[in-house]
Each structure stands twice: as structure tokens, then as C-alpha cells.
Amino acid sequence: MRTESRKLTDQLNAVEKSIAEADDSSGLDELLAASDVRAVWGGLSLSKRRATIDTLMTVAVARQKNTRVFDPADVQIEWRRERES
């Protein structure tokens, strides 16, 4: 019972951490208020950068034809549109 309790406690801690990170949201507010967006972007944590990108766009990388050479043309970016109410 103690072993299972520890497992559940670990799972609960992981879920609470995910919620806290999601609550932390993106750095979008910081970027919008910044006079030097590049400087603010450079200071954001990786999780805030990812959340900001996820808020603004969808990024997809197509399967590479040649795995030794990266082709930027295989990256597709679609800007998210404001949702209609």
C-alpha cells in the first residue's frame, strides 16, 4: 500500500507541476509590453518560448529527404487566427 501511495503521490506531483507550468502561461504579455522584444525573448525560459510559439502559430517539420542536410523549406508555419466567439 505504501508503494502504491508513493506512486500516486509522484503522479500527483507531476500533474501539479504541469498545471503550474501551464498557469505560468506564455511570455506573450512580456513581449507585447517590451520596447526591446529581442532582449525579452532572449530572457524567456524555454517553456515560455514554447508556450508563446504555441499560442501564436503551428509549426510542422516535414519528413526530411536527406537526413544529413536540413532543408528550411520543409518547415511549415501557420499563424493561428483569433477564434470567433
Find all residues with CB under 8 Å of 57, minimum gap 6, and list them: 77, 78, 79, 80
In a domain, 34, yes or no: yes
Residue 81: its pLDDT value, please?
A: 85
Residue 21: its pLDDT value, please?
A: 63
In a domain, 23, yes or no: yes
In a domain, 62, yes or no: yes
User: What is the SS3 assignment for 61?
Assistant: strand
- CB neighbour class for 27 (10 Å; exposed up to 12, middle 13-18, buried from 19): buried
In a domain, 69, yes or no: yes
pLDDT digits (tens, 9 = 90+) for 22-68: 655 667 888 999 999 999 999 998 888 988 898 899 999 988 777 78
For residue 51 the three cell numbers come to 508556450
Q: Range of 70's domain?
A: 2-79
In a domain, 48, yes or no: yes
In a domain, 85, yes or no: no
Q: In total, how many domains does the chain have?
A: 1
